[in-house]
Structure 1
Amino acid sequence: MISFIPGESRGHAEHGWLDARHSFSFSSYYDPQRMGYGALRVINEDRVVPTAGFPPHGHRDMEIITYVLDGELKHRDSLGSVGALRHGEIQVMSAGRGIQHSEYNGSAREPLHLLQIWIEPAITGKSASYGQGALDAAALRGGFSAVVGPRGADTPFHIDQDAWLHIAWPAAGAVLEKALDTRRRYYLHLARGAIRVGAQRLVAGDALTLEGETALRLQADGDDAEILLFDLA
């Protein structure tokens, strides 16, 4: 079964310096029907004005993935990690038994546009960790590429959960096909552009859930599509 979730149905928060869309219940947005999807707990689409951001704050027992669409994110944490994250890179932070970090728009002129994703870990109370690196753009343009996976998986980044993140950047008109496991569930989030899945057209912010399906087939309806596909137990 494939279910369509329009991006316009997401929660919305406007704070002046921050414009946020919440795929699942978060902060002041609460919908008992949207408490997550499997271990996937948060997808927040944030737009941050120049120089603004989140001051130091804490997390624990959460796998946090950050994906920048436009602009530059400045990161600093209690592990001593300091860096700038831009489009074409990904950041994966395991909060473990506790981590403090801050996140700011690194530009004095340009807005910052990003996705922050939380996945609940299968193991709690571990040491916190942080990783950041470039994505393989050529692989993503060729189809879905596994970017994040469970510990021991053949992926660049790992989390403490039986969950995978696949990303694709298909060219205009490209058709992608991906085999699915009927025993697992999938959540597709369109971060940018437009695609078609069957008769359904998706634009940025829209999502699909897929359960009991053997395959996903989609066509890029433009040349800037960026697709995140979560494979969940």
Structure 2
Amino acid sequence: MSNIPRAMSKSLAHARIVLRRSSDRGHANHGWLDSYHTFSFAQYNDPKFQNFGALRVLNEDRVAPNNGFPTHPHRDAEIFSYILSGELTHRDSMVTKKGGSTANKNDFYRMHRGDVQFTTGGTGIAHSEQNEHANDEVHFLQIWVMPWRKSLPPTYHTMTFSEAAKRNGFVTIISPLQAGPKATHKEENAAIPMVEGTIPIHADFLMGASIIAKGRSASWKIGGNDAVQSKLGRKVYLHLPMRKVGAKIKLAGETELGEGDGVFVENVNAGDQLLVESVGDQEAEVVVLDSN
């Protein structure tokens, strides 16, 4: 749906909407890393916030110049980074490093705003994420999703999603692997997603993003266009990143979010529409995580 003039809208009568204020998130500032945790992570542990459907981690991170996460292992998780500003360099144990060339994203890639880097940990993978810029911090979301089965073959993808498309409505960024949980080795290698032009994930899960102009709105169709298996009782988390620009949004005509805030939306079904209105002083970049 294109951005349309802001108007009053009726909330979904059957939906349960619960705010998660930015100030209520877990927070750790290590100097080189300033990180906010929506769910239990590292030293932050809250039994009420362990996961939401398949969504397990939503960290909003800022990494100082010439710092980052050294090589570390992952397994049995779907992990992706959404770059909001700055640059983040990804290196991976699955490839041969080629001296810093950015010609091939599968060898070495310095991500910028609009880029999404996705990793299937599977049976085991190691990677590093570094801010190699001399002066500017990098601001990004790191998100983990629990896969539909363990011991998957490790892989990763990097894609760029245009600002222009996001300004015209919600853009689907991640969608389920079309072949499903019983994918063959050939189907895993083909990596065909349910939604063309998206990154395939091993979960009944969608991610979308939109940049909504002041006084405009955009609508997210839960479950996409028949992109998910679980149609009823989906769990949608909507997040307004803390970009420090004065953004503010209203969900379903009622619930207002400031920067860093999120909202849990339950008791919704595939096909339901979530209307998001930009009601702040500046455009609002909104991320939606749609899980079984």
Which interval holds the TM-score relative to the shorter structure? over 0.9
> For 1:107-166, what per-residue CA distance to the aligned partner results, in whole angstroms no more than 9, with x for missing partners?
011111111000010021121111112103222111112110100211420110000001
> Is 1:151–1:158's contact at 8 Å kept on the other side of the alignment?
yes
- Identify which of 193, 204, 229 aligns with 2:288: 229
Residue 189 (structure 2) pairs with residue 189 (structure 1) = no
Structure having the higher Rg:
2
Report the CA distance between 1:182 and its aligned residue: 5.0
- Identify which of 140, 143, 148 aligns with 1:114: 140
Letter of the 2:248 counterpart: A
Residue 48 (structure 2) pairs with residue 39 (structure 1) = no
Report the CA distance between 1:106 and its aligned residue: 2.0
Paired residue secondary structure (1:123): coil
Paired residue secondary structure (2:164): helix
| Rounded Cα–Cα distance in structure 2 between residues aligned with 1:33 and 1:227 | 24
Report the CA distance between 1:183 and its aligned residue: 2.8
> For 1:28-62, what per-residue CA distance to the aligned partner results, in whole angstroms no more than 9, with x for missing partners?
00000000101100001111111001111000011
Matched with 1:126 is 152
Q: Which has the higher strand share?
A: 1
Structure 1 pair 123–200 and aligned structure 2 pair: CA distance change class (3 A):
same
Paired residue secondary structure (1:139): helix
Residue 229 (structure 2) pairs with residue 171 (structure 1) = no
TM-score, reference length from structure 2: 0.76
Residue 44 (structure 2) pairs with residue 29 (structure 1) = yes
Q: What stretches of structure 2 of length at least 5 have no aligned partner?
A: 1-15, 96-106, 179-193, 223-230
Matched with 2:225 is none
> For 1:62-96, what per-residue CA distance to the aligned partner results, in whole angstroms no more than 9, with x for missing partners?
10110111110011010113111111111111111
- Identify which of 54, 66, 70 aligns with 2:81: 66
Matched with 1:100 is 126
Paired residue secondary structure (1:149): strand
Matched with 1:204 is 259
Residue 163 (structure 2) pairs with residue 158 (structure 1) = no
> Is 1:182–1:211's contact at 8 Å kept on the other side of the alignment?
no
Taking only the aligned residue pairs, the percentage that are identical comes to 38
Q: What stretches of structure 1 of length at least 5 have no aligned partner?
A: none
| Rounded Cα–Cα distance in structure 2 between residues aligned with 1:146 and 1:158 | 11
| Rounded Cα–Cα distance in structure 1 between residues aligned with 2:233 and 2:46 | 27
